[in-house]
Structure 1
Amino acid sequence: MKKIILSVAMLSLSAGSLFAQELFDGFGAKGFYNKSLKNQDSFYIPQMQIGFETYVETKQVEKESKLSAFANNMAAHSKGGQYGGRQSSSARVTTILNAGMELSDFQALANDFHQILENEIEKAGLSILKMEDVDKLDSYQKIKEKYSDKTDKKQSKADPSDIGFGTIKVYPKHTLFMFDEKSVMKGGGPAFYGMLKKIHAETNAGMILQNLTIDFSTVELDIEIDAGTRGKTTTAAMKILPKMRITYNTMDFITPKGGPNSAPASLSSEFVSSKEYTANIYSDKEKAASLFKKFFAINVPSVDFDPRIIEMSKEDYIAASKDLFTQYSREFAKALVVGTKGK
């Protein structure tokens, strides 16, 4: 089960709440990609790997402050004893999505996300080449041949039997998986750059490559440790908000001036929707156990904890995720415009 470590304070980002360039590392007000983005006025999006989370374990580890540990150590020594060292504790919350989504629904949603991003980039004043048109170009065919197998392998993880199993990876229509930050050699060497030269000559446009993960809720955990010479007491507070968020996002840009870089651009922090959706959030071990039986073909985990089920209609899930992605796309487009000015 995937674990995501959250800080105590969650930062809620709404459209316009921060300057666009503050949301991203690597481009915008400043960044290593601005050199290749400068004066680029047209783009297309051949890669958009979207991971939809279907259950998440959120965990936070808290450690006693150095000042508290020092005071407790001194107190123990003054009594002829020893302090066991800085104390730590942790808390976790498992959230499970129950929205009736099928693989075809995630695929349709991914297609919508791609169009939303294209629309927001156009609204910001830049030109977008539609992938259905790029897909017909002779220069793009070699790139498709090179990366179609990789895309199929990634996409195969989104098998219908996996719905509910961690993250469902989906690719919008006409898009590929080319590489991400885990790729050993981005681009694939000289042959790849030969392909790029041809497609740059035919389009004069820059590629935008994205890898992002969408979570269906926002979890806040607050742990307090009262540590002393006689032991420790831990209290934990939990809050689950019906707000979607982008928990992970890396981006590369390949323009006629260069790219990709050895390190990708990224969100500087999680992007949380400014709007709540309608959902029933409750704890039901029996229901959770039945969902796990559906999710896992073998090695079904026992529900010996207290998972929270986030139950909503398919329509509400789709509407909330589109709203989140529209907010994100507006901020991305703003930052992209700043990057094209080469600051």
Structure 2
Amino acid sequence: MSKFILSVFLFAVSANALIAQELFNGFGAKGFYNKSLKSQESFYIPQMQIGFETYVETKEVKNESGLSSFANTMAAHSKGGQYGGKQSSSARVTTILNAGMELEDFQVLANDFHVILENEIQKAGLTILKMEDVNKMESFQKVKEKYSDKTDKKQSKANPDDVGFGTIKVYPSNTLFMFDESSMMKGGGPAFYGMMKKVHSETNAGMILQNLTIDFSTVELDVQLDAGVKGKSTTAEMKILPKMRITYNTMDFITPKGGPNSAPASLVGEFVSDKEYNAKIYSDKNKAESLFKQFFSLSAPNVDFDPRIIEMSKEDYIAAAKHLFTEYSKEFAKTLVVGAKGK
């Protein structure tokens, strides 16, 4: 019996490691960052760029398969005609958040996210240095000096007039924007690594740099294309689920052993919440037009495409976002342990 229990336990550990590794690319059971992460026991999170989606367009394009195109071409030729070529079609859904969230609400939520990630990493068995303490270290002052202007420029995009338009970028208190996957030269060359060496000597900890985007709903589109000799017919089914998701996530690590890498680590696919929130999902052109006038300070777009409004209370939005991010943080922490401790 004890051997059976041990076997089940080992299977569960292996399964957890596999699940953690599959969620992320670049670290975990294997990955290009593991060389930097190996045996690293302590970390801190100086960068956490969070984009909160408030207005999203989801589109799916369906292309006719090569086999279908060939069959239609032959059918047209057999009747003495010509086929117009491969067909394609698409469907689009636009969703608008209506939750009464102001910029200061997003800021408080970002601060909570930072604490949640710290706590889950610590629960997983690693040591976390709090940014309140790191920011006071002498060696970190050069880092703050180098990246404060970049952070201000990024953060300045998140002003009250922009709430409701696209993505609101927010940084938790005591964090900076250092770089992301679009940065031309990560780190900035020898001067950067000299600066990092001083920080590592004082902290002996690894940096975790996060860039992620939170969407307020999950949209499923199923486009069916029936292409024929005389043209095409298209059907599309749409489903809007009241589930939040992380649609984008890249991350870098800088430890005493090295980093950042030329390519960031990333979430393999979307991370969808396992819990639905309470919301009213409906179509109302007049309401959508009113929201757009509120969102867009200059010229509001036409509402001919009939967007769907996702309406919920501020409290429900915050609770759903925290639940999503807690589940994500648990998986991230689990994967980080796999990479750092090899288990």
Global fold match (TM > 0.5)? yes
The aligned counterpart of 2:315 is 315
Flag the 1:148–1:237 CA change in 2: closer, same or farther, 3 A.
same
Superposed CA RMSD: 1.1
Unaligned runs of 5+ in 1: 1-15
Separation in 1 of the partners of 2:74 and 2:299? 48
- Are 2:251 and 2:266, in contact at CA under 8 Å, matched by a contact in 1? yes
The aligned counterpart of 2:261 is 261
**Alignment: residue pair count:** 328
Q: CA deviation at 1:101?
A: 0.3
User: Cα deviations across residues 206-255 of structure 1 (Å, max 9, x unaligned)?
Assistant: 00000000000000000001110011000000000000000000000000
The aligned counterpart of 1:218 is 218
SS at match of 2:179: coil
- Are 2:18 and 2:29, in contact at CA under 8 Å, matched by a contact in 1? no
Separation in 2 of the partners of 1:336 and 1:20? 9
1:306 aligns with 2:340: no
What pairs up with 1:133-282 in 2 under 5 angstroms?
133-282=133-282
The aligned counterpart of 1:104 is 104
From the CA coordinates, give the structure whose radius of gyration is larger.
2
Which residue identity is paired with 1:175? T
Which residue identity is paired with 1:176? L
Separation in 2 of the partners of 1:66 and 1:102? 49
Separation in 2 of the partners of 1:70 and 1:224? 18
User: Cα deviations across residues 57-108 of structure 1 (Å, max 9, x unaligned)?
Assistant: 0011001111111110110111111111111000000000000000000000
> As a proportion of its length, which structure holds more helix?
2
The aligned counterpart of 1:40 is 40
TM-score (norm 1): 0.94
Query: Could you tell me the percent identity over the aligned residues?
Result: 82
Q: CA deviation at 1:176?
A: 0.1
Flag the 1:18–1:225 CA change in 2: closer, same or farther, 3 A.
farther
Separation in 2 of the partners of 1:134 and 1:84? 65
- Are 1:252 and 1:259, in contact at CA under 8 Å, matched by a contact in 2? yes
Separation in 2 of the partners of 1:18 and 1:323? 23
The aligned counterpart of 1:4 is none
User: Cα deviations across residues 1-48 of structure 1 (Å, max 9, x unaligned)?
Assistant: xxxxxxxxxxxxxxx797111000000111000000000010000000
User: Cα deviations across residues 108-134 of structure 1 (Å, max 9, x unaligned)?
Assistant: 000000000000000100000000000
Unaligned runs of 5+ in 2: 1-15
- Are 1:278 and 1:316, in contact at CA under 8 Å, matched by a contact in 2? yes
Flag the 1:17–1:32 CA change in 2: closer, same or farther, 3 A.
closer
- Are 2:25 and 2:267, in contact at CA under 8 Å, matched by a contact in 1? yes
4+ residue runs over 6 A deviation:
none
